[in-house]
Amino acid sequence: MSAEPLTVAGGARVEAARRRTFAVISHPDAGKSTLTEALALHARVIGRAGAVHGKAGRRGTVSDWMDLEKARGISITSAALQFEYRDAVINLLDTPGHADFSEDTYRVLTAVDAAVMLIDAAKGLETQTMKLFAVCRHRGIPVITVVNKWDRPGKDALELMDEVSERTGLTPTPLTWPVGIAGDFRGVLDRTDGTYRRFTRTAGGATIAPEEGLPAGAAEAREGEEWTRAVEESDLLAATGAAHDQELFLDGVTTPVLFASAVSNFGVGALLDTLVDLAPPPAPRPAADGAARDLDAPFSAFVFKVQSGMDAAHRDRLAYIRICSGVFERGMVVTHGRTGRPFATKYAQQVFGRERESVDLAYPGDVVGLVNASALGVGDTLYADVPVTYPPLTTFAPEHFAVVRSRETAKHKQFRRGIEQLDSEGVVQVLRSDRRGDQAPVLAVVGPMQFEVATHRMEHEFGAPVHLEPLGYSLAMRTDAESVAGITASSGTEVVQRSNGEFLALFTTKWVMRVLRENKPHLTLEPLVAAQL
């Protein structure tokens, strides 16, 4: 980073005020990764966009770097990018949209101060979109809405605003309004000053789309009825009170709206400016005891993601931390809250998708990658001087289970190392029992596509091909050692252990679980906490 160390009182707070840490979230295929790359392009931290997957002659996006992501054309893991724009430091987190990877998305949402919600102009509010809106509301995360793909045929703009209002409860307050119907995107009316931003296409959308600013009179002369329609619709919005109010936005009552085409780089610059101008900077973060840790308090952070396989040459493991307070200095020795042991931060890196470089200083709101941090797990707290513990991250209740075995017995060490790595990252939950042994652990996941990711990584990253045997269980309940014998005596059940020693009772159906509970009420059967996603 370019900033020099600040030793005066309030230094961390001053630097935090420059930070904008947000996630890009949406239903699958709404264009998150394309938008992420377009934002980096407009900030001029990359020269050309990789843009759309599977399009001839186009590279993969910066944020989608895993082989499986490139092959499937979807994001299956979150990615962090940090860059500067204007006088702000942007920490952008791209997230997987598919519901099978919702646990990863949820963890990212614990580490951000705002969210950019992408809506497909043709499809409107889809299932995952609604769930993500609900999570943001639950966590008090203000949302900026972007109607994407306006260069393609889609719904009416006013119809989309009604849909946002009726289905989310948020009042949309458009900052820009499209000139031209969906599929005929000419530019936008800037509702803050009434001017016209006219867009010009570039070859394949690989470079920044030139924008021309025109006053209202010139816009009317150029665009005719399309400009008149846009002005009339904007006036209608104004009559209904759809004007931006910063306090209502931060309180989660309204959502600013912009229209864009990420693949053509239309409207992306306006989004960057909106993030800098309107998105909130980091604020004091509540600890597990409810007390807020001041930004100027000694350093503290929590781990929200662990990822390996980013560097094929080194097979390293990266723990992503969100800094909550104080100044981070590379090499400082901090305390690992869960173990109470010292943790050295010599290998700290600033992340830009798959690419990384050493970072010497970081401040509240920043995302830093700690390399080879094998002692760190998702949800762990790090702190200096004054102890603090941040709330643990929710573990989702798994719904799909399969036994995993190595295809090659000679690769037992690689198999064991890979399984342990996937478990520590939270890619899957690894469950073991005396009945099955260490050679045949049970993998438990929220969605079946996680199995595909696990098997792909076991073969290509750890060199240990595996095969899965699906199990007929669909429900997991927390239990204890005293209840194991009583549970396993019933048909349609099995008891396994998580890596932390916690016992889980698996059931083929809810009916089997209810019958057991009725017949043996003394057994411990507690529901697993599932996040609202």
List, as residue ranges, the binding site. Answer: 94-98
Rounded to whole angstroms, the Cα distance separating 531 from 105 reads: 11
Rounded to whole angstroms, the Cα distance separating 86 from 314 reads: 35
Residue 266, phi then psi, degrees to nearest 5: -90, 130
Rounded to whole angstroms, the Cα distance separating 390 from 302 reads: 7
- Exposed/middle/buried for residue 518 (C-beta within 10 Å: 0-12, 13-18, 19+): exposed
| Alpha helices in 254-346, H assignment, sequence order | 268-278
| Alpha helices in 118-245, H assignment, sequence order | 127-139, 157-168, 216-223, 225-239
Do residues 399 and 115 lie in contact, with contact meaning Cβ atoms separated by under 8 Å?
A: no
Residue 238, phi then psi, degrees to nearest 5: -60, -35
Binding residue numbers for GTP: 94-98
What's at 124, amino acid-wise?
G
Residue 167 burial (CB count, 10 A): 13
What is the per-residue burial (b if ≥16 Cβ within 10 Å, else e) of 425-450?
bbbbbbbbbeeeeeeebbbbbbbebb
